[in-house]
Amino acid sequence: MEILLQGLRAAGEETRMRLLVLCAHAELTVSEIIQILGQSQPRVSRHLKLLCEAGLVDRFQEGSWVYYRIANKSKASLLARYLVDLVPEYDQVVVRDLERLNTIKQARVDAAAEYFKENASRWGEIRSLHVSEEEVEKLLLKAVEGKNVTDFLDIGTGTGRILELFSPHVEFAVGVDSSREMLAYARSAIEEAELRNCQVRLGDMYTLPFAKESQDVVVIHQVLHYAERPLAVIEEARRVLRSNGVLIIADFASHNVDALRTDHAHRQMGFEMKQILNWCDATNLKELSTHVLKGDPLTVNIWVFVANASTDAKGVA
């Protein structure tokens, strides 16, 4: 009862309801919210603080920036969504706010498009060396077929494509990346596709910003070859997996394309099938399936594991 009353008290003011609606449509910084509302920074910050304390809005840090978004997993998150749904779409104040929000979102799209334009040739060069992503993605989805997935994590989310792929099949998805530029691109793509159940976060693949046993599915897609310590990444993925949770790894088989190391900052020249199997076995993960997608000159391997109930393995407990 107290949670409900606190939430209603926090939302029971015009500016805070406007904030709630805006945060339901996008992740926003204080400066962006100020642009939309035309109010002072102290006033906006005070309203946001009340909404966060009531569990209606989530606050998270990305470097020097702080983002706000409608709560997804707090005890008051259902109330937050319900209140937003009750706001009439034709309300003139809300209409004006959303028009200003769209201007900010378009600026993000333009910046993301410019970033993609600058880097597309590099990504295209790598894609031309292996099988089509469509083949890979079919097998990734097959790994969660028929499963109830509440919490989904994409390590090294990059452009956010894996979030987009899994969004219809999971309740709540988060992509983590250490590059703010990639996060900006992924955030823009998520908002443009209106993937309300997806978020991105700044994070390190060696120290994920998630509690132990908090995820149902973890994907490491074309990321492990960037790691200086691949086993440590797998151990960290296992730490956040729930018992019977699924880990999916997609990466290159061992190869000798040296340009990937010199021109694209790859730290590993692919992985032997057995190497990944041995690492995961040592991390208390049981093999479910493996797939080999032959390419020229790069072959893509996919490993699917399930987390054993016991957490005695090194680096997991």
Whole-number pLDDT of residue 32: 95
Phi, psi of 103 (to 5 degrees): -65, -45
Same topology for domains 2-101 and 129-307, yes or no?
Answer: no
User: Where are the extended beta strands (E) located within 182-221?
Assistant: 198-202, 215-221
Q: Quick check: pTM over 0.85?
A: no
Of 270, 257, 260, 300, whose CA–CA distance to 122 is shortest?
Answer: 260
Phi, psi of 224 (to 5 degrees): -60, -30
pLDDT score recorded for residue 133: 85
Best CATH choice for the domain 129-307 from the list 2.40.30.20, 3.30.450.20, 1.20.1630.10, 3.40.50.150: 3.40.50.150
pLDDT of residue 315: 44
| Alpha-carbon gap, residue 144 to 151, rounded angstroms | 12
Q: For the domain with range 2-101, which CATH number is right: 1.10.10.10, 3.90.580.10, 3.40.190.10, 3.30.50.10? A: 1.10.10.10
Helix, strand, or coil (residue 267)? coil
What's the CA angle centered on 32, arms 29 and 33, to 5 degrees? Answer: 85
pLDDT for res 296: 83
Report residue 37: phi and psi, to 5°: -85, -25
Quote the pLDDT of residue 295: 85
- Cα–Cα distance between 229 and 1 in angstroms, integer? 48
Helix (H, G, I), strand (E, B) or coil at 255: coil
pLDDT score, position 182: 86
What pLDDT is stored for residue 185 in this prediction? 86
At residue 311, the pLDDT reads: 45
pLDDT number for residue 115: 60
Distance CA 156, CA 147 (A): 23
User: Taking the chain (317 residues) in consecutive chunks of 10 residues, what is each chunk's mean pLDDT?
Assistant: 87 95 93 95 95 94 85 88 91 94 86 65 61 88 94 94 96 93 88 91 93 97 93 97 96 90 85 95 95 91 90 43
CA–CA separation, 239 vs 247, rounded Å? 11
CA distance to 127, 135, 187, 274, per residue, from 131 (Å) = 8, 7, 27, 21
Domains of the chain, residue spans: 2-101, 129-307
Give me the pLDDT at residue 317, please.
38
Give me the half-sphere count of Cα atoms (radius 13 Å) on the Cβ side of residue 68.
25
